[in-house]
Amino acid sequence: MKLAVVGATGLVGNEILEVLKERNFEYDELLLVASARSAGKQVDYDGKTYTVIGLEDAVAAKPDIAIFSAGGGTSLEWAPKFAEVGTIVIDNSSAWRMDPTKKLIVPEINGDAITIDDRIIANPNCSTIQMVLVLGPLNKKYGINRVIVSTYQSVTGSGKAAVDQMMAERAGETPTMVYPHKIDMNVLPHIDVFLENGYTKEEMKMTNETVKILRDDRVKVSATCVRIPTMGGHSESVNIEFDNPYEMAEVKAILSKVPGLVIQDDVANNLYPMPMTAHKRDEVFVGRFRRDESKANALNLWIVADNLRKGAATNAVQIAQYVTENNLVL
């Protein structure tokens, strides 16, 4: 097994390396890959020193699996080159997510969609991943016709430069601006670019990706995505309208059986999901279960996950584990 991590020196790349180590992912050779300006850099990882290589050298090495976290432009240019030499590319960017010829995978929900012919596999948007982990089993049981979601997303979702902006503002320093406004002590109802329909690209990602992952175009999603000055994870307030009646105890029983999903719902003891407690955790946390008293067959709940872990690195590594365990590597 020859494994490449493309974008190994970035925030998500570093997290991928941590998850690989924690999950004891087995490989014979590890290639750390980055842009030309980072090639030649020395990286200490898991008791060894690695020399970062460029993309051309990585393709020439013909890795079995390449986990990409290097941006959409890099993925569009280089993922096909890796695929041509037989590599399975698992891509964290948005480049391939809505390509009808590519699979968009959350292993617990639709891992079975992957075949041995899939050489480029897309990792969904971080906010979508944590939401579909809840929606998937409930849709199978009750049928979902509508979802209204409002997100509260960490600055880590915008990368290290955004974290630096927030911390500089907090320290009273002049920051290098990533956002169009101050982020510390503020809330921005603006993630990614605005589209002609008035929604942002992030909001439409959640709408379109959810349908593709669930393989059910009956599920309609309306999203409002908001950036808040926190670290540790993304939070979501989710209202789900079912086709059929539900019992709360049954909902919780169904979700309690989902791998990687943890119920935290003990309001008497102030126990509910928070970014602070989800930080560095691979699980998705769900709580604040409430029957929607304004609409029949509707449910309110609150979902939190570390966006750099299950929202990116962990899900990508889980896809790599799935393809190896199911003998899908050529």
- The residues with which 66 forms a beta bridge, in sequence order, are 4, 89
Bridge partners of 43, per DSSP, are 50
The annotated binding site for NADP(+) is made up of: 9-12, 37-38, 307
Which contacts of 257-265 are long-range, i.e. CB under 8 A and separated by 24 or more positions?
257/137, 258/108, 258/133, 258/134, 258/136, 258/137, 259/108, 260/108, 260/133, 260/284, 260/310, 261/133, 261/134, 261/285, 261/286, 262/286, 263/287, 265/289
The one catalytic residue in 181, 190, 225, 234 is 234
| Known binding residues for phosphate | 97
pLDDT digits (tens, 9 = 90+) for 140-193: 999 999 999 999 999 999 999 999 999 999 999 999 999 999 999 999 999 999
Give me the DSSP letters along 171-204.
TT--PPPSSSS--TT--BS--S-B-TTS-BHHHH
* pLDDT confidence of residue 29: 98
Give the model confidence (pLDDT) of 220-252 as tens digits.
Answer: 999 999 999 999 999 999 999 999 999 999 999
**3-state helix/strand/coil string of 67-132:** EECCCHHHHHHHHHHHHHCCCEEEECCCCCCCCCCCEECCHHHHHHHCCCCCCEEECCCHHHHHHH
Query: Which residues are part of a known binding site for substrate?
Result: 153, 227
The pLDDT value recorded for residue 36 is 86
What pLDDT is recorded for position 37? 87
Binding site, by residue number, is: 9-12, 37-38, 97, 153, 227, 307
Active-site annotation holder among 126, 190, 225, 279: 126
Q: Does the active-site annotation cover 126? A: yes
Which residue is listed with tokens 């004891």?
Answer: 24
First to last CA, the chain: 10
Low-confidence ranges of the chain (pLDDT < 70): none
Assess whether 225 carries a catalytic annotation: no
> What is the model's pLDDT at position 122?
98
Closest CA to 316 of 147, 146, 142, 96: 96
Whole-angstrom distance, CA of residue 195 vs CA of residue 18: 36
